[in-house]
Amino acid sequence: MNVLVIGANGQVGHQIVNLLHDRKEHSVKALVRKEEQAAELADKGIESVVASLEDSVETLSSAIEGSDAIIFAAGSGGSTGSDKTLLVDLDGAVKTMEAAEKLGVKRYVMVSAHQAHNRENWSEALMPYYAAKHYADKILEQSSLDYTIVRPGGLLNEEGTGHVSIGENLKRGSVSREDVANVIVASLLNENTIRRSFDLISGEDSIENAIASL
């Protein structure tokens, strides 16, 4: 598959791009916002395209064209205001869904947030972020795309264990970014994850078995 990773310069997106590049099971293209980020990827032999999630659907369609699958791992980041959260995490995500449908790209994997589907479990300090994720996920679920929505818990920069818990509703927990990347890559061709949404935290099951249990 030709896989486009949106948000490739973020911490999770970076892990996903490197994993896809190293495994060589799929062709990977990274979508980044800055030319210098593209240059750094080129030095590693990784193809990239420069675009912003605040660009038009037409511009994003040009960046997506030729892809078989999209992984959305972008985010406005904690240093921006609620306006950027709305424009990137919600509207930016929806524009890529619209572009994917326009181009006939069916496979779409979304990196969301733990319990984004349950308002009563949102963090008070991150309400705009959770609201953006909630509605982006809802729009994705209502689309024609073959989606998978992965809702990881607190993200850690630790080495992955390869063992996780996956479920529709899981208690609060954490998970390494490396394990999140591995779950996402493993989900790409796994029909068990198509049109499914799930929480993801560290656990006892191997990634393969956890996905199989959905």
- Tracing tokens 């954490």 back to the chain, one arrives at 174
173: closest CA among 214, 138, 203, 198? 203
Q: How far is Cα 112 from Cα 103, in angstroms, rounded to an integer? A: 23
Strands 69-72 and 27-32 come out as unpaired
- Give the 3-state secondary structure of residue 52: coil
Whole-angstrom distance, CA of residue 110 vs CA of residue 133: 10
Find the catalytic residue in 129, 130, 135, 147: 129
Q: Is 130 a catalytic residue?
A: no
- Token pair in block for residue 98: 């619209």
CB 91 within 8 A of CB 135: no
Phi, psi (rounded to 5 degrees) for 144: -90, 5
Residue 42 has which token pair?
Answer: 């080129």
Q: Residue holding tokens 């449908």?
A: 101
Known catalytic residues are 129
